[in-house]
Amino acid sequence: MPMDTSDDQARQRVIIEDVEPQVDAGRFPVRALAGEMLTVEADIFCDGHDLIAAEILYRREEAEDWSTAPMTLLLNDRYQGRFQLAGPGLYSFTIRARVDHYRTWLSDVRKKLEAGEDVSVELEIGRRLIREASGRASSDQARQLEAKSQELAEAASQAEAVRRAGDETLLELMVPHQRTGLDTIYGSVLPVRAERPLAGCSAWYELFPRSFAQKPGEHGTFRDCEALLPDIAAMGFDVVYLPPIHPIGRTNRKGRNNAPTAQNGEPGSPWAIGAAEGGHKAVHPELGTLEDFERFRKKAEELGLEIALDIAFQCSMDHPYLREHPEWFRWRPDGSVQYAENPPKKYQDVVPFDFETEDWAALWQELKSIFDFWIDRGVRIFRVDNPHTKPFVFWEWVIGELKGQHPELIFLSEAFTRPKVMYRLAKLGFTQSYTYFTWRNSKQELTEYCTQLTTAPVKNYFWPNFWPNTPDILPEYLQHGGRPAFIIRLILAATLSANYGIYGPAFELCIDEAVPGKEEYLNSEKYEIKSWNLSSPQSLRELISLVNAVRRDNPCLQNIWNIRFLETDNEHLLFYLRFSDDEDNVILAVVNLDPFQSQSGLLRIPIRELGLDPRQPYLVHELLGDEKHIWMGEWNRVELNPQVLPAHVYTIYRSFRRESDFDYFI
């Protein structure tokens, strides 16, 4: 031990290790939901057999003083405590622990008394501990402690004195007033980012406003799209996500089916941002005005919907930035600007920013100002296009700056890339993330992937948002599985993840026509104006509404992590349990992963864990088909016809034996 150790440090006896949750030793914040309790655990121990008093110290970023929450022993020196995250924002916590001399004394004196020993000296030691604590307490608490000490002295018997020494009020008074100079404080202060509830549970609907004109073939406007909002709200969605709404460049404009040259009148890709009419802070004139957008957002808000805007940090050849800030781009030896490439893919209509520019500080500030511009107009949710192609250090800075001012912001990372890159972006501040769910189809793939996402350490920072399709991706499963495949992927996305989204009209109508040999839509809406018939009999609107209603009515489906996969005797059946923390709400879901054939099998119900009597029948209510069944014991058989309904979602009535439940069933 170094001899310059202070007197108090030399006498500290408690060790604090393996504190959870934390992300990369506190380098990044843990992510949690505002309004909920954050559970903290740690290994806390000392030499000998003394008892330990441990507590969490926590505070919101702007608070000067620390609040405390007690920790209790779980098992084998593992302690646990909880504190509430009152609202969105950045919090920090650490752990403080000390030898609890008073409780140690109380435990020992009880043992001696039970053994028939005289404990008069021990009782005097206890009174001294109380008097010492009173000397460190406030005047009011000091008086209470002195009174408790006197009660021990006036007890009619040693047994009565020991009983009074264990009074809960006295124990609580003693906790903060023992020798605080010998406290051990964990070596790190750990950050926590509390997100608003919508960040933890949301259903997204993506649409291209230009495809919803009142007259087919014309360019849709924000005012046209106002008519869509009631139906989207009625389906149970929370977020309406719009691809870029800015002016579209004309130079190298892409044509139908990603043709390198557009024909006269073709609208181009919304991701080719910028033209003579303006850039990232302007609205495409054919969509309307900035005032029209704000009116559209307010109409959505009246219906309980929020608008998510696409942020794509790239430019068309015609963006004003190229003229005003040529230093923000890369120029080739022949004088042409370097357009975006991901060989062999070419994006001739898009120019990336050069984040290695010497003028990087001005570039960063300008890009932040784009977020600020739309935040000032009421937008609180942003889907960020390809964030993995911009520097990590930029995202950490800009999201930190923005959330410092607006902790309610939500950022969705559209990064279909390598896992470690996706995870780093989440650590840096992206609230939700696209995932590989789009390509996880088999029972083993889904089980392994969902288990990975919902267990530590990943669950501490990476919040998944499951998308069965996007304008960029039409997976093979949807190309070949027909309408049942769309239903299967909808139910999986909505019940495996608390956050999910669909590229709306194409998914609703089960559009499965792909570019041959690719996972891309043929006649993609990215390059042309569509005319969707959402009243088609092919529409999944009714089922989507029902699925979202089930999510809304069952809190266990609004949580990201509470999933357990259960046993079946058929590899085509995925069977899983969702439960709430208090276990009052339980959902059992079974999905036929085969869109072509009926599949049947036995499901193993964890009846004991669910509090069911194995000798008694129990009632299950299938929520999608609104059917009720009486089950008995662990194993029960189901059959799922994908042409009818390829999934069942059950809730359980555990007290079926009550007469009222029989009445309900009848």
Residue 661, pLDDT > 90, answer no
The tokens of 343 are what? Answer: 């060989």
Between 514 and 338, where is the model more confident?
Answer: 514
The label of the residue with tokens 């549970």 reads 201
Query: Which is it for the CA torsion 391, 394, 398, 400, positive or negative?
Result: positive
The pTM is what?
A: 0.93
CA–CA dist 414, 146 (Å, integer): 63
* Burial annotation 610-638 (CB, 10 A radius, 16+ → b, else e): eebeeeeebbbbbbbeeeeeebeeeebeb
State how far the Cα of 81 lies from the Cα of 69, in Å rounded to an integer: 7
Do 421 and 378 form a contact (C-beta atoms < 8 A)? no
Q: Quickly tell me which residue has 């049947």 as its tokens.
A: 600
In tens, the pLDDT along 609-656 reads 898 989 899 999 999 999 999 999 999 999 999 999 999 999 998 654
Choice between 663 and 107, residue whose per-residue pLDDT is larger: 107
Question: In Å, how far are 118, 134, 169, 188, 447 from 156, measured between CA atoms?
Answer: 14, 24, 20, 49, 64
Beta strands in 494-597 (DSSP E): 499-503, 563-565, 573-579, 586-592
Q: How many CB atoms lie within 10 A of CB 68?
A: 14
Q: What is the pLDDT of residue 657?
A: 41
Question: What is the identity of the amino acid at 73?
Answer: L
Q: Are 623 and 651 in contact (CB under 8 A)?
A: yes
Largest CA distance in the chain: 103
Q: Identify the three-state secondary structure at position 102.
A: helix
Residues 114 and 124 sit within 8 Å (Cβ to Cβ): no
Q: Give me the sign of the Cα torsion angle 378, 380, 386, 390.
A: positive
- Residue 6 or 72, more confident: 72
User: Phi, psi (5° rounding) for residue 591?
Assistant: -125, 130
Give percent of the chain with pLDDT exceeding 70: 96
- Looking at the annotation, which residues are catalytic? 385, 414
Q: Which fold has domain 7-194?
A: Immunoglobulin-like (2.60.40)
Task: Output the pLDDT for position 8.
Answer: 64
pLDDT tens sequence across 13-64:
999 999 999 999 999 999 999 999 999 999 999 998 899 999 999 999 989 9
* pLDDT at position 655: 56
Domain ranges across the chain:
7-194, 204-247+278-310+360-557, 248-277+314-352, 563-665
Q: What fold is seen in the domain 204-247+278-310+360-557?
A: TIM Barrel (3.20.20)
pLDDT at residue 172 tops 80: yes
State the DSSP string of 217-237: TSPP-HHHHGGGHHHHHHTT-
Give the up-direction half-sphere exposure of residue 285: CA atoms within 13 A in the CB hemisphere. Answer: 6
DSSP state of 189: P
Average pLDDT over every residue of 351-372: 98
Long-range contacts of 627-633 (CB under 8 A, 24+ apart): 628/665, 630/656, 630/665, 631/605, 633/605, 633/607
Structural fold of domain 563-665: Immunoglobulin-like (2.60.40)
Residues 6+ apart with CB under 8 A from 629: 619, 620, 622
Q: Would you say 446 and 438 are in contact if contact means Cβ atoms under 8 Å apart?
A: no
Average pLDDT over every residue of 563-581:
95
Domains 7-194 and 563-665 are alike in CATH topology: yes
